[in-house]
Chains A and B, each alone.
Chain A
Amino acid sequence: MLSEYNLKTALYDTHVTLGGRMVPFGGWDMPVQYPNGILAEVAAVRTATGIFDVSHMGRLYLSGPTATEFLDWVLTGSATSLRVGRARYCLICNENGGVIDDTIFYRLAQDRYLLIPNAGNRPAVVAWFQKWLDERFTYGCTMEDVTDTTGLLALQGPGAATAIDKITNKPLSEMRPFSWSESAIQDAPVLVGRTGYTGEDGFEILVQGDDATKVWTILTDSGAAPCGLGARDVLRLEAGLPLHGHEIDEETTPIEAGLERFVRFDKEYVGFEILKNQQENGTPKKLIGFTLPGRSAPRAGYSLLQQGKTIGTVTSGSYSPTLDTSIGMGYVFNDYVASGANLDLDIRGRISQVTVTDLPFYNRPRRT
């Protein structure tokens, strides 16, 4: 099961000690859950604070006088308009508009960026970027992959802001979402972004690899519950966030995935013409969210039907413990995307009725 060729994060031994069940994911051995289980971990993030090791995700620095121009060419979002101190979510598309990866990138300085690709997509992103650096940006932009020498932790939940202020050398709780700040946690230098993948308030903390265990332990000692990939998947699904390989892939565009708001139409970049055309003329299929009563979950690959005819496919699904109903996302032909519409779901031969629902399924309560 566990391959000796899989990579291990700096926290591997810590996960094993905590009783984490290690599974292969994106070329890494990662904890899918700890002994308290996925439901308890989801509850911790929704009601208190959870901590995830997300060091399997990539960390790339793009630096130099043409780094901004380079990123504007390979990203659907604008680097030019991103201010230093801020971060942005967007897509990396191929020439057909298909999604090579989704990413958050941080503007560290006028000519320096940190970009976070998904674990399994890092080789593809690095190769894609290198191709354009070689072909089009020969001078003025360099790429440095620091995934192996750094760690990334995600502190997520309504208690995250209070928790982080207790351990950093300056208060970060007033930081705006999608901004970042440098700080230190007991002498360990950290770069903290107010970002995440759970639908809750929270922070993602970049640490030196040697400091990862220390910072993790400080966070768990402060009361944050260790959470694994299983909880992470349920949380992101409840929050309507796409997962590469499920809702988005190289054959699917951000327009089909309903991610138009992360796509600029006022600059030129790889895939732009196709995305602009789709934005103006529509696409044959669209991503929908849907709910069904009970706990029998839709799973990736199940068929969605209308009057016995297959009209779509599920990309992700789960029982949602937060909403106590089953939820799913999938692609259907354009005629069936209206919110409130009823469709049939084939659950291994058993037909259940589902209701098309606006995404996200879960919105966190806002602070007043």
Chain B
Amino acid sequence: MSPDDRKYTEEHEWVMIDGSDDGTAIAGITEYAQDQLGDIVFFELPKIGDSVAHLGKMGEVESVKAVSDLFSPINGTVTEINEKLLDHPELVNEDPFGEGWIIKVAMADVTELDSLMSSQDYDTFIAGL
């Protein structure tokens, strides 16, 4: 079961408001995504200040077997990246919904989240894959 405190995309990213009340969202990839990727060895992440667009490419994640694009779940401006991932990309395998978060984004419009999938919808979605 995916955590119900956040929203999901069909590209297997999650996003949640980080609780600071200033419209900052925190985003990462799901348990399903990390399991499909296998051992992650490398992240190519956007820079602080970069604009990201809903379902636009924001970086790359490389596992031993393959490289995949990372898509942004939302529109906004990158305010922070998880620097720990540069030396310890395996954090995303170990704890994709927690320590393995990927970026923080100042959202242009927080109501965008309403259009994303709930945890229940996402779990139904991956069950059908």
Contact = CB atoms under 8 A, between A and B. Distances in A.
B49 interface: no
A190 interface: no
A294 B64 CA distance: 13
Given A230-B65, A318-B64, A296 B39 contact: no
A37 B42 contact: no
B98 interface: no
Contacts of A38: 38-39, 64-65
Interface of B: 38-39, 41-42, 44, 60, 62, 64-65, 67, 89, 93
A319 B62 CA distance: 9
Contact of B38 (A33, A318, A348): A33
Nearest to A296: B42
A32 interface: yes
A297 interface: yes
Interface string A297-338: 101000000000000000000110100000000000000000
A166 interface: no
Contacts of B39: 37-39
Contacts of B42: 294-297, 319
Given A297-B62, A319-B64, A230 B41 contact: no
A234 B65 CA distance: 9
Given A33-B38, A38-B64, 19 more contacts: A32-B65, A37-B38, A37-B93, A38-B65, A39-B41, A39-B64, A230-B64, A230-B65, A295-B62, A295-B89, A297-B41, A297-B42, A297-B67, A319-B42, A319-B62, A321-B41, A321-B64, A348-B60, A348-B67
Interface in A225-241: 230, 234
Interface string A188-231: 00000000000000000000000000000000000000000010
A295 B44 CA distance: 10
Interface string A3-44: 000000000000000000000000000001100011100000
A38 B65 CA distance: 9
Nearest to A231: B64
A54 to B, nearest CB: 19
Contacts of A296: 42, 44, 62
Contacts of B67: 297, 299, 348
Contacts of A321: 41, 64
Interface string A343-355: 0000010000000
Contacts of A295: 41-42, 62, 89
Given A296-B44, A297-B67, A299-B67, A230 B62 contact: no
A219 to B, nearest CB: 24
Nearest to B35: A21
B108 to A, nearest CB: 27
B92 to A, nearest CB: 13
26 contacts: A33-B38, A37-B38, A37-B39, A38-B38, A38-B39, A39-B39, A39-B41, A230-B38, A230-B65, A294-B42, A295-B41, A295-B62, A295-B89, A296-B44, A296-B62, A297-B41, A297-B42, A297-B67, A299-B67, A318-B64, A319-B41, A319-B62, A319-B64, A321-B41, A348-B60, A348-B67
Contacts of A39: 39, 41, 64
Contacts of A348: 60, 67
A294 B62 CA distance: 12
Which residue, of B60, B65, B93, has the highest number of chain A Cβ atoms within 10 A?
B65
Contacts of B62: 295-297, 319
Contacts of A297: 41-42, 62, 67
A348 B62 CA distance: 12
Interface in A269-284: none
Nearest to A350: B44
A42 to B, nearest CB: 8
Contacts of B44: 296
